[in-house]
Amino acid sequence: MDPVLIKIALGGVATLGCIGLFFGVGLAMAAQKFHVEPDPKVEEVLHTLAGAQ
Q: Is 3 an interacting residue with respect to other proteins (CB under 8 A)?
A: no
What is the torsional sign of CA 10, 15, 17, 18?
Answer: positive
Among 20, 21, 43, 44, binds other proteins (CB under 8 A): 20
Among 6, 10, 19, 25, binds other proteins (CB under 8 A): 19
- 3-state SS, residue 38: coil
Where would I find the beta strands (DSSP E) of the chain?
none
> Which residues form the interface with other proteins (CB under 8 A)?
8, 11-12, 15-16, 19-20, 23, 27, 30-31, 34-36
